[in-house]
């Protein structure tokens, strides 16, 4: 199994801050990585696929980057609606998720 490790597990930030979340895979993913946002009591929402492709309807303040085993989700200017938990997911070999990063209000 490919293991996914996110860091940090939680962070506190203010509206307008630039936020970066990291995801590391136990082996190279050849770019098969997605990011999701989940709010309490709600289903996950696809933000980004194929490392950096923005899903339709997702604000452009979200971006993804990385290669090999190391990937990053960046929120360029945090908005009130962005306080949530974020998950990375690999789809090189079957499907596994990171453990999540909770973005809280500072």
Partner 1 sequence: QLQLQESGSRLVKPSQTLSLTCVVSGGSISSGDYAWSWSRQPPGRGLEYIGYIYHGGTTYHNPSLRSRVTISMDRSRNQFSLKMTSVTAADTAVYYCAREKVGDDGGYFDNWGRGTLVTVSS
Chain contacts with partner 1 (rule: CB under 8 A): 1, 32, 34, 36, 42-46, 49-50, 55, 87, 89, 91-92, 94-100
Minimum gap (Å) between residue 32 Cβ and partner 1: 6
Minimum gap (Å) between residue 90 Cβ and partner 1: 8
Q: Which is nearer to partner 1, 14 or 56 (CB)?
A: 56
Strand locations in the chain, DSSP E?
4-7, 10-13, 19-25, 33-38, 45-49, 53-54, 62-67, 70-75, 85-90, 96-97, 101-105
CA–CA separation, 69 vs 81, rounded Å?
29
Q: Which is nearer to partner 1, 83 or 91 (CB)?
A: 91
Q: Which is nearer to partner 1, 13 or 46 (CB)?
A: 46
Minimum gap (Å) between residue 49 Cβ and partner 1: 4
Contact between residue 29 and residue 92 where contact means Cβ atoms under 8 Å apart: yes
Contact between residue 62 and residue 78 where contact means Cβ atoms under 8 Å apart: no
Q: Which is nearer to partner 1, 61 or 92 (CB)?
A: 92
């Amino acid at each position: 199994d490919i293991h996914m490790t996110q860091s940090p597990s939680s962070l506190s930030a203010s509206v307008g801050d630039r936020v970066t979340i990291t995801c590391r895979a136990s082996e190279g993913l050849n770019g098969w990585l997605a990011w999701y946002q989940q709010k309490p009591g709600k289903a996950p929402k696809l933000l980004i696929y194929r490392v950096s492709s923005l899903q339709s309807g997702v604000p452009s303040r979200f971006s993804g980057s990385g290669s090999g085993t190391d990937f990053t989700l960046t929120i360029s200017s945090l908005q009130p609606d962005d306080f949530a938990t974020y998950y990375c997911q690999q789809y090189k070999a079957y499907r596994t998720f990171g453990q999540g990063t909770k973005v809280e209000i500072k």
